[in-house]
Structure 1
Amino acid sequence: MSRERGHVGRGYVGWALPEAERARLLALFPPRYARTVAHHVTLAYGVGARHPLPMERQGTIVGLADDGEGVQALVVAIAGTTDRPGGGTCHVTWSLGPGRRAVESNAVIGRLGWAPVGPVSVRLEPRFFPD
Structure 2
Amino acid sequence: MSTGYTGWELPDDERARLLAQFPQQYEILIAHHVTLDVGVPFGHPLPYPVAAEVIATVDDESGLQALIVALNGSTDRPDGSTFHITWSLAPGRHPVESNTVIREFGWRPVEPMAIHLIPRFFT
The TM tier, using the shorter chain, reads over 0.9
Equivalent residue, structure 2, for 1:76: 69
The one-character-per-residue Cα deviations of 1:13-46 (angstroms, maximum 9, x if unpaired) are: 0000001000000011000111111000001111
CA RMSD of aligned residues (A): 1.0
Normalising by the residue count of structure 1, what TM-score does the alignment of the two structures yield?
Answer: 0.90
User: What letter corresponds to residue 86 of structure 2 in structure 1?
Assistant: T
Task: Tell me the distance in 1 between the aligned counterparts of 2:23 and 2:89.
Answer: 12
List runs of 5+ in structure 1 lacking aligned partners. 1-7
1:68-114 per-residue CA deviation (whole Å, 9 max, x = no partner) reads 10000000000110010112000000000121011100110011110
User: Which residue does the alignment assign to 2:111?
Assistant: 118
Matching of residues 57-72 of structure 1 within 5 Å: 57-72=50-65
Shift of 1:50: 2.0
Q: Tell me the TM-score normalised to structure 2 length.
A: 0.96
What displacement does 1:57 show? 3.8
Q: Does 1:54 align with 2:54?
A: no
What is the match of residue 43 of structure 1? 36
Runs (4 or more) in structure 1 with deviation over 3 Å come to none
3-state secondary structure, aligned to 2:103: helix
Determine which of 65, 82, 89 is the counterpart of 1:89: 82
1:105 maps to 2:98? yes
